[in-house]
Structure 1
């Protein structure tokens, strides 16, 4: 089969033929129809993100495809089923504290690296081998829509945070990082879940205006000034009531003061979910006042990725017409042009923009 192979950090992907994956028990081979190219893929491939990866490797984080073959433990999947290839691979030998790797992308710790060495190659290829539980059916779709369904890859991340926060219909949410790729997807997802209002702070005025244009008065935008106390009060003031939940999705380049301004806008007894990248490249830690957390009964939790059932739930939101994939502007590249796709994704990131490879 043909694949794009990352052989060395800092070098272009090599488009070459390689052996097709061989299936084992507990595994599924999927014909890849469309694979998303993350906007920061270039930073992974050049080593800037310092991700744990075992080279050479076929990269690619998630995909939409059709089942080619499945193992004897698969009781529902059948050949030709449309599936989302969930890149979040969990070890199966400890349900309490599983090791995790993002197939074709990154690992976490030594256990994650061991897992990556088996589920090694990602989706920039004509076929991919994944764990049975990671081939999640999405129902029949038109082949022409497969690239747009890759938006699942983006929307599932904030959806995982909202589910972890037990976010409820009728609540008010503040999305820290609302003008980014994941943040804008969070705004759309929260509204689909029945949010009363989403507070969307940011510095990018055109992006803020675009959120308002797309979603109307249920989104209240705030132009950040950089003054932590002033920004916090303005976020609170624009909300139609106390802010029930804050989710942070800011990138590594953001400051901890920007995070704290949003986090501490939450109401007493409120919830905070941290899902961004602040601090991953070094710098200050997030300093939150102990008395404020304790006396106001604030719940603060981290969340990485999402639970497996989130895929099925989000597919239901899309099928019901509550979450519109039409928001996403998709640019597709052939597998032969994977390097051009990576460059395009880096130059054209941001809200509701998506680059995909179509093997």
Structure 2
């Protein structure tokens, strides 16, 4: 079958012929409709992530929208190594197939689910916990809002009822775009990489403690956020959820912050999320894409042009489709 193939570590994929996936109990063979090239897809294919298989050649891709034997469009993934989702046919678990609602753009789902779910699960989980005590998300602080996942996090926060979002990132042009799209519901902070960022984040919060910090950056940005938010967390519980480490793999956490404030730290990723929570989160996020509440711009490439697709680092998500 036709597929994208990574032949060795740190090699870009090429189009070629790959063995058909092997049928197995509890799995179905589905036909590719579209698969997104997410950051995690590149990292895993290159062998630079804890979830990498460490074996090549392989087909990249972790998720996709596919068509089942009866014609149903589903969001799915979890192909067994060395197969991924960027191939004409994919072997997928029967319990990881979510039927798409009528009218939703299947390629927007393929492009958006992975980067969008990164924030949807912690935000929706936090909203549920707050709702149990009659509260809402209120103010949400997003570190790394100018990346692909961060931009979706802004939409997710608003879709889940956040009254105000503080978007923090390095790309001033993207911050300006977000401000234009969300108006008074958003405040933006352009990072300078200095200790002045603590004051800038505090000023943007304007005395309102965030109910949740969705952190795609970690590293020194998280450290400066601890300084900015600590005075506001004295009477309000703040949940800081580490999702990514784009600014650094480690961050120093002041012990006094955890002892003297209602400040909780946790992480969110596939290894920390139950299957049931994952499935509920995916269904909820896909509903927002269908409703147009969450917007997912994307660029399409056929499998035969996988090299161009892999090199495309533009602002839109990249989706690979069959030729």
Distance of 1:146 and 1:319 partners within structure 2:
9
Report 1:78-89 matches (<5 A): 79-87=70-78
Does 1:323 find its partner at 2:294?
yes
Instruction: Give, in angstroms, the shift of residue 180 of structure 1.
Output: 1.0
Q: Which has the higher helix share?
A: 2
SS in 1 for 2:199: helix
Which of residues 257, 265, 268 is equivalent to 1:300? 265
Equivalent residue for 1:354?
317
Equivalent residue for 1:113?
none
Equivalent residue for 1:187?
154
Report 1:165-184 matches (<5 A): 165-166=126-127, 169-184=136-151
Distance of 1:263 and 1:28 partners within structure 2:
47
Which of residues 233, 239, 256 is equivalent to 2:205? 239
Q: Please list the CA deviations of residues 250-272 of structure 1 after superposition, one character each: whole Å capped at 9, or x if unmatched.
A: 2xxxx722122224434322111
Distance of 2:115 and 2:251 partners within structure 1:
25
Distance of 2:166 and 2:257 partners within structure 1:
22
Instruction: Give, in angstroms, the shift of residue 203 of structure 1.
Output: 2.4
Instruction: Give, in angstroms, the shift of residue 297 of structure 1.
Output: 2.2
Distance of 1:302 and 1:199 partners within structure 2:
20
Does 1:124 find its partner at 2:115?
no
SS in 2 for 1:165: helix
Q: Please list the CA deviations of residues 104-141 of structure 1 after superposition, one character each: whole Å capped at 9, or x if unmatched.
A: xxxxxxxxxxxxxx454111101111111211112234
Equivalent residue for 1:289?
254
SS in 1 for 2:228: coil
Instruction: Give, in angstroms, the shift of residue 32 of structure 1.
Output: 0.8
Distance of 1:273 and 1:27 partners within structure 2:
33
Instruction: Give, in angstroms, the shift of residue 36 of structure 1.
Output: 0.6
Which of residues 97, 115, 139 is equivalent to 1:135? 97
Are the counterparts in 1 of residues 109 and 286 from structure 2 also a CA contact under 8 Å? no
Does 1:276 find its partner at 2:237?
no
Are the counterparts in 2 of residues 34 and 147 from structure 1 also a CA contact under 8 Å? yes
SS in 1 for 2:95: helix
Equivalent residue for 1:146?
106
TM-score (norm. length: structure 2):
0.84
SS in 2 for 1:133: coil
TM-score (norm. length: structure 1):
0.76
Distance of 1:331 and 1:163 partners within structure 2:
28
SS in 1 for 2:86: coil
Distance of 2:66 and 2:102 partners within structure 1:
11
Are the counterparts in 2 of residues 41 and 342 from structure 1 also a CA contact under 8 Å? no
Q: Please list the CA deviations of residues 28-59 of structure 1 after superposition, one character each: whole Å capped at 9, or x if unmatched.
A: 22211111112575555445567632222111
Distance of 2:240 and 2:125 partners within structure 1:
10
Q: Which stretch shifts more, 232-241 or 201-210?
A: 232-241
Which of residues 224, 227, 231 is equivalent to 1:261? 224
Q: Unaligned regions of 5+ residues in structure 1, if any?
A: 69-78, 88-102, 104-117
Distance of 1:279 and 1:186 partners within structure 2:
17
Are the counterparts in 1 of residues 27 and 91 from structure 2 also a CA contact under 8 Å? yes
Q: Unaligned regions of 5+ residues in structure 2, if any?
A: 131-135
For residues 262 and 279 of structure 1, do their structure 2 counterparts lie closer, same or farther at Cα, with a shift above 3 Å needed?
Answer: closer
Count of aligned residue pairs for this structure pair: 302
Are the counterparts in 2 of residues 161 and 275 from structure 1 also a CA contact under 8 Å? no
Are the counterparts in 2 of residues 333 and 357 from structure 1 also a CA contact under 8 Å? yes
Which of residues 189, 192, 205 is equivalent to 2:172? 205
Equivalent residue for 1:336?
304
Instruction: Give, in angstroms, the shift of residue 321 of structure 1.
Output: 4.0
Q: Which stretch shifts more, 167-176 or 194-203?
A: 167-176
Are the counterparts in 1 of residues 137 and 211 from structure 2 also a CA contact under 8 Å? no
Equivalent residue for 2:283?
312
Q: Please list the CA deviations of residues 209-237 of structure 1 after superposition, one character each: whole Å capped at 9, or x if unmatched.
A: 01111221111001223333x32232222
Are the counterparts in 2 of residues 236 and 243 from structure 1 also a CA contact under 8 Å? no
